[in-house]
Amino acid sequence: MAKNILICDDAAFMRMMIKNVLAKGGYNVVGEAENGAKAVEKYKELSPDLVLMDITMPEMDGIQALKEIKAIDGGAKVIMCSAMGQQAMVVESIQAGAKDFIVKPFQEDRVLEAVKKVIG
């Protein structure tokens, strides 16, 4: 059975790129969110197997959204995505419960490898 994934990124083209990579890998994108607040709402509504979450977003950043999702569901699986040079944020997101981290611009195989590692 295909695993369900929620994509959260404020850039529509990034969501589309990630969606295409995941579809090729046989995953099912059940929802998209353009900020952390929407990601938390969608998580409650969709209960995805995995969330791919950008860190830098308007309204609520990815780390705050990650913390809220983990508060709702301690077993939530979240992979963070961010641009180069944000090591402090990487550390903070891992401490907050992120399962992995993908650096943008990302390689297709790196995305699929991370997803496979976290949800199979």
Each residue's pLDDT tens digit, 41-68: 999 999 999 999 999 999 999 999 999 9
DSSP secondary structure, 42-90, as one string: HHHHH--SEEEEESS-SSS-HHHHHHHHHHH-TT--EEEEEESS-HHHH
As a whole number of angstroms, the distance between CA 7 and CA 10 comes to 10
In this predicted model, what pLDDT tens digit does every residue of 102-119 receive, in sequence order? 988 888 999 999 999 999
Residue 113 CB: number of other CB atoms within 10 A? 14
Is the pLDDT at 87 greater than 90? The verdict is: no
Is the pLDDT at 84 greater than 80? The verdict is: no
What does the pLDDT read at residue 83? 81
- The pLDDT of 6-18, averaged and rounded, is 96
Domain count, the chain: 1
- The pLDDT of 21-43, averaged and rounded, is 97
As a whole number of angstroms, the distance between CA 21 and CA 111 comes to 8
Query: In this structure, are strands 100-104 and 28-33 parallel, antiparallel, or unpaired?
Result: unpaired
Average pLDDT over the chain, rounded to an integer: 94
Is the pLDDT at 1 greater than 80? The verdict is: no
- The pLDDT of 5-29, averaged and rounded, is 96
Provide the pLDDT confidence category of residue 88 given band limits of 50, 70 and 90.
confident
Instruction: Find the length of the chain.
Output: 120
Residue 48: cis peptide before it, omega within 30 degrees of 0? no
Residue 36 sits in which domain range? Answer: 4-119
CATH of the domain at 76: 3.40.50.2300
Helix, coil or strand: residue 26? coil
